[in-house]
Amino acid sequence: MAAKIFIDGEAGTTGLQIRERLAERRDLELLSIPTESRKDKAVRAALLNEADIAILCLPDDAAKESVSLIENDHTKVIDASTAHRVAEGWAYGFPEMSREQAGIVASAKRVANPGCWPQGPIAMLRPLIEAGLVPADFPVTVNGISGYTGGGRTMIEDYVAKGEDAPEYMPYGLTFKHKHLPELQRYAKLGRVPFFQPVVGNFAQGMVVTVPLQLSHLPKVPKGADLHAAIADYYAGIKGFVEIAPLEASERTPELNPEIYNNTNRMRLHVFANDDIAQALLVAVYDNLGKGASGAAVQNMDLMLGV
Ligand SMILES: NC(=O)C1=CN([C@@H]2O[C@H](COP(=O)(O)OP(=O)(O)OC[C@H]3O[C@@H](n4cnc5c(N)ncnc54)[C@H](OP(=O)(O)O)[C@@H]3O)[C@@H](O)[C@H]2O)C=CC1
Ligand SMILES: CC(=O)N[C@@H](CCC(=O)OP(=O)(O)O)C(=O)O
């Protein structure tokens, strides 16, 4: 029997992308909500309780409401919002994060889809901290640029309306309290809050996230090759969509184009280093709407369905 999937928030940026990704799937029955009822609590409640898996593509408060409307023991949930990412009883939906995580997601009833920003730095820092190359309390900095679809409907409408007049490069998060910090700190296994300062660019989709490292401040100064080997070894036995570029010594590379993996679920990690002056840069490239949101939700859904 086809599994019943309900996307609560199917008209939004993330919801629409998930619908597109599932459109050809014959093993699923998509429960759709009539446009005029899409914010009607009673209609949503009925569909949430009918679904085998409900995927919530809503603002945080509406996502919490959806969870509270589920009255049965049967409906599993994937929440794309920030509401439950460090909440008790929720599995973090980044299956490549560890050898166990895909199994944890597969058997979970409640899965919190990760935020787009934290996934890259978690993917790069967690292996280095586990390998003991970077101490957990090291003062880590994370920067990056994302396309404007990361801000959802409101930001998309703003950028589209401004067109060429929209800012090409707009730093934000300037109070350093970005909503992704708790999940980033927890799942990267960082002992202190990282410094995180993102940028939104005048392009729709895709992102590059960077972690610069002053290696001379580490207790035992690693070479770039040590960092690269630790990350490559970590993912060698983990199936999924995280891949490692060869250790690179180029001045620039077209591979760091934020749009390069758009409409895929790929995340590619790079290590650049200058051993003479003990500096390195970790870089993750992926699609904020792919691995950063809708692609990850479909990957988690498939794990939960045993596909
Ligand atoms: N865009 C991205 O790259 C990412 C987004 N996310 C998260 O996914 C979630 C959805 O984001 P995104 O798709 O970008 O946002 P959008 O604003 O594009 O879509 C949200 C949708 O939810 C609808 N909605 C709002 N309140 C309710 C309600 N009470 N009942 C039913 N529907 C409601 C909105 O309708 P209306 O517009 O009419 O208010 C809209 O269609 C958010 O929590 C976001 O933080 C996560 C990772 C990445
Ligand atoms: C460019 C941009 O504005 N991006 C969003 C994050 C998008 C995302 O990951 O969303 P949620 O964590 O809300 O699910 C931001 O920084 O707030």
pTM for this entry: 0.96
Q: Are strands 53-56 and 28-31 parallel, antiparallel or unpaired?
A: unpaired
Q: Are strands 195-201 and 169-171 parallel, antiparallel or unpaired?
A: antiparallel
- Asked if residues 117 and 196 have their Cβ atoms less than 8 Å apart, the reply is yes
Beta pairing partners, 237? none
Q: Crossing angle for the helix pair 116-130 and 224-236, nearest 10 degrees? A: 110
Rounded to an integer, what distance in angstroms lies between the CA atom of residue 266 and that of residue 263? 9
Q: What are phi and psi of 132, to 5 degrees?
A: 80, 10
Q: What is the pLDDT of residue 201?
A: 98
Q: Which ligand is nearest to the CA of 58?
A: 1
Would the pLDDT of 249 be above 90? no
Ligand 2 test: best mutation among 56, 180, 300, most atoms within 8 Å of CB?
Answer: 180
Mean pLDDT within 136-155 = 97
Would the pLDDT of 97 be above 90? yes
The residue to which tokens 């909500």 are assigned: 33
Q: Which ligand is nearest to the CA of 170?
A: 2
Question: What is the chain's mean pLDDT, rounded?
Answer: 97
Would the pLDDT of 160 be above 90? yes
Closest C-alpha to ligand 1, atom 40: 12
SS3 of residue 151 by DSSP: helix
Nearest atom in ligand 1 to 61's CA? 29
Q: How far separated are the first and last CA of the chain, in Å rounded?
A: 13
Nearest atom in ligand 2 to 115's CA? 9
Q: What is the pLDDT of residue 165?
A: 96
Q: What is the pLDDT of residue 179?
A: 97
Q: What is the pLDDT of residue 20?
A: 94
Tell me which residue of 137, 129, 115 sits closest to 184, measured CA to CA: 115
Would the pLDDT of 248 be above 90? no
Strands across the sheet containing 207-214? 169-171, 195-201, 141-146, 207-214, 279-286, 267-274, 242-244
User: Alpha-carbon dihedral of residues 60, 62, 68, 73, nearest 10 degrees?
Assistant: -80
Rounded to an integer, what distance in angstroms lies between the CA atom of residue 290 and that of residue 244? 18
> How far, in Å, from the CA of 219 to the mean position of ligand 2?
34
Cα Dmax for the chain: 64
- Asked if residues 281 and 224 have their Cβ atoms less than 8 Å apart, the reply is no
Mean pLDDT within 166-176 = 97
Token pair belonging to 187:
């799942």
Nearest atom in ligand 1 to 38's CA? 31
Q: Write down all domains in the chain, each with its CATH number in brackets.
A: 3-114+293-305 (3.40.50.720), 116-289 (3.30.360.10)
Rounded to an integer, what distance in angstroms lies between the CA atom of residue 18 and that of residue 13? 9
Tell me which residue of 35, 29, 46, 42 sits closest to 9, measured CA to CA: 35
Catalytic residues: 116
- Asked if residues 84 and 110 have their Cβ atoms less than 8 Å apart, the reply is yes
Mean pLDDT within 208-216 = 98
Which residues does ligand 1 sit against, CB inside 6 Å? 9, 11-15, 38-39, 57-60, 62, 80-82, 115-116, 149-150, 152-153, 288-289, 292-293
> How far, in Å, from the CA of 58 to the mean position of ligand 1?
4
Burial class (CB in 10 A: 0-12, 13-18, 19+), 288: buried
Interface predicted TM-score (ipTM): 0.94
Would the pLDDT of 215 be above 90? yes
Would the pLDDT of 122 be above 90? yes
Measured over the CA atoms of residue 297, residue 65, residue 118 and residue 218, the dihedral's sign is negative
Which helix (H) or strand (E) is 127 found in, with range? helix 116-130
Q: What is the pLDDT of residue 1?
A: 84
Which residues does ligand 2 sit against, CB inside 6 Å? 80-82, 115-117, 146, 150-151, 155, 179-180, 198, 200
Q: What is the pLDDT of residue 134?
A: 98
pLDDT digits (tens, 9 = 90+) for 23-79: 999 999 999 999 999 999 999 999 999 999 999 999 999 999 999 999 999 999 999
Q: Where are the alpha helices (DSSP H) in 131-198?
A: 152-162, 181-188
> How far, in Å, from the CA of 34 to the mean position of ligand 1?
17
